[in-house]
Amino acid sequence: MGRLFGTDGVRGLANADLTPELALGVAVSAAHVLSERSGGARRTVVVGRDGRASGEMLEAAVIAGLSSAGADVLRAGVLPTPAIAHLVAELGADFGVVLSASHNPMPDNGIKLFARGGHKLADAVEDEIEARIGETWTRPTGAGVGRARDLPDAGERYADYLLATLPCKLDGMRLVVDCAHGAASAVGPAVLTRAGAEVTALAAAPDGRNINDGVGSTHLAGLVDAVRRTGADAGIAFDGDADRCLAVSSDGEIVDGDAIMAICALALREQGRLKSDTLVATVMSNLGLHHAMRDAGIRLLTTPVGDRYVLEALREHDLSLGGEQSGHVVFAERATTGDGLLTALQLLGRVAGTGASLAELAAVLQRLPQVLINVPVADRAKVATAPGVVAAVDAAAAELGDDGRVLLRPSGTEQIVRVMVEAPTQHAAEAIAGRVAAAVAAG
């Protein structure tokens, strides 16, 4: 079996891959490992989830596991993943657990763990937790058994924290907000309304089965239509656990994570808060972001794909802003992880503070046409060094020069190599990507 923990916790088909037994085992092991790493004292753990039906079952299993291992549980209920990270830090809890599969379809679910302070666990800690699942241990009895209680003001605490970061009130701004029938369905519209906006909420009626079902940040057509139809100033889309945010301008154009990062980087630099005048983004961010930042005198530091790598770079280099094209944006001075609501407030606050429209602000980023082709291969690890592939990539790079780029990225889980090409025109991007993909397929 491969590694249980992926790039964002444990994830799988609920009650098939991710069973209550596995959830209980992960919880027990996490309680043991994290307790031992901090002196063996009795632990306090914040537990939250998104609205999937399977979350009720898995939450019960996790709480049972934690309590049986002697940890006390604060049950936050249905809240965004970043809310749990924040509450771990604010309440001084020892760690946090979130039951969510983010933007995945409803049948999936996941377990995400946050260490003290609301930070994601290091790989070595996850490996230790995984290795110790099912080990023999002495169970506490009597007063040693952990207790569980609700945290009724969890949402209010999170909302108050978010609103304290708002750079400018959103008075008079008309918004359409797509909550993906997810964890932000209640708190998202409420926070934006308290910020001063007039909010029309879409996909904000979770029933346990409809999360991410044709809505949210991975399905923007409905939000685009609603913004155009209502004449709203902007649209905001969250995913199921609201750790990412995408936007739509008043003319119905999508403002992705790259554009959001460009707008916010310029705002932070203007305020003297963009540390080292540097933005962190992954290799999948559009070359247009590189050009926009270069022209603004801002350095762009690139990482592999995955918000954990963005977080690592932010911490290692003591930087303040980073993220992904998908809408995971991390304001490191404000949060320990990507937070869709925090991102929305910073973005919309910039709109309100400048008096410019979202479209005008997003125009700083001129996206290059981008083509992505998934190529099945026999051995993804060897493709990049195959002579025919090297020759094709070198030829493409020479043809594109500074006006484009070619990137090969092996999948982390499948025998697939992703060929990404950016070029000045869509036709050129498609033609070059096709040639490189053919070379990759030939091996």
CA distance 204 to 181: 5
Best CA proximity match to 256, nearest among 204, 180, 202, 329: 329
368 CB-near residues (< 8 Å, 6+ apart): 286, 287, 288, 403, 404, 422, 423, 424, 429
DSSP 294-353: HHTT-EEEEE-SSHHHHHHHHHHHT-SEEE-TTS-EEETTT-SS--HHHHHHHHHHHHHH
CA distance 433 to 430: 5
3-state SS assignment for residue 82? helix
**Are the beta carbons of 362 and 343 closer than 8 angstroms?**
no
Catalytic residue positions, numbered? 102
Best CA proximity match to 19, nearest among 30, 4, 6, 3: 4
Best CA proximity match to 421, nearest among 399, 441, 442, 443: 399
Q: Residue-wise over 30-49: b if at least 16 C-beta within 10 A, else e?
A: bbbbbbeeeeeeebbbbbbb
Best CA proximity match to 256, nearest among 370, 118, 112, 355: 370
CA distance 329 to 39: 34
CA distance 93 to 117: 8
